[in-house]
Amino acid sequence: MERLQKVLAHAGVASRRKCEQLIVEGHVTVDGQKVTELGFKVDPDSQAIAVDGKPVKQEKKVILLLNKPTAYVSTVSDPEGRRTVMSLLPTVAERLYPVGRLDYDTSGLLLFTNDGTLTERLLHPSRNIEKVYRVTVEGTVDKEARRRLAEGIELEDGMTAPAIVEVMKQGPESVVQIAIHEGRNRQVRRMFAALDLPVKRLKRIAFGPIALGHLKTGEWRTLDPAEWKALYRSVELSPPPYATPTFPNRKVERPARTSRSPKGKRSRR
């Protein structure tokens, strides 16, 4: 069950705020009955929803993966006029939203979907979805630093959960791969700052069962069917029928696959 205004927005009727207005003003019916209550929950797969008598058709569920560059904000729009990740995606008929955020100065794997239930479950703390980052820091990540990361770091908002740490390179600049299950604001940077190891570069390389692979910075691709099923099953959802986005008035070429290329459709940026 999902909130009615959310279902309408995901179906492409209008923005969430505009959909709330349509409900309050009495333009929306569910199973033939007018609904004016915000927060009213519906099952979009089994109930008939209409706006001014016109049936609302639910969008097919789609998912895109972007290798986000730095210097982009992970929002649909930005009041400060900064570049958003949406400008890196192709024009599609479905209304896509980022699944969570990556900081302005963080790069790597960012998912987009129009499936609100999937998004909520992937981001809910109780799901413990693993996120893997490759971190370049100033200084050496010694045995004591690795122990503290593995046991948890005391931050201003509490102790972090244990992380899985692998040192890839030691030196004046060290490279570490770290896996965490939490999603606190700028958590990885704050964890290393607490160890006096300033982060120079931060890139997310995996989110749950989905890996970034060899996708180039600024490129996007669809998930392949196996990834699609794995992502839904990771949050205990039955996978809907596999689908790719609708590209209005555009033919999308399928690049030749090689052993090094990620599966799925990919941009030619």
What is the structure's pLDDT at 44? 85
3.40.190.10, 3.40.50.2000, 3.40.50.300, 3.30.70.1560: which CATH number matches 130-207?
A: 3.30.70.1560
User: Are the C-beta atoms of residues 112 and 64 closer than 8 Å to each other?
Assistant: yes
Question: Known catalytic residues?
Answer: 103
Where exactly are the structural domains of the chain?
2-55, 130-207
pLDDT band at 250 (very low <50, low <70, confident <90, very high): low
Q: Nearest-5° angle of CA 116, CA 122, CA 125? A: 120
Question: Dihedral of CA 101/218/95/19: which sign?
Answer: positive
Does the domain at 2-55 match CATH 3.30.1240.10? Answer given as no
Q: In this predicted model, what pLDDT tens digit does every residue of 8-62 receive, in sequence order? A: 887 878 888 899 999 999 999 999 999 999 989 998 878 999 999 999 988 889 9
Residue 230 has pLDDT above 90, yes or no: yes
Q: In this predicted model, what pLDDT tens digit does every residue of 181-199 receive, in sequence order? A: 998 999 999 999 999 999 9
In percent, the amount of the chain with pLDDT more than 90 equals 79
Note whether 2-55 and 130-207 share their fold: no
User: Are the C-beta atoms of residues 183 and 116 closer than 8 Å to each other?
Assistant: no
Residue position matching structure tokens 């987009």:
112
| Tokens of residue 76, six digits | 């649909």
Q: Please state, as a whole number, how many other Cβ atoms lie within 10 Å of the Cβ of residue 166.
A: 12
The distance from CA 148 to its chain's CA centroid, rounded to whole angstroms, is 28
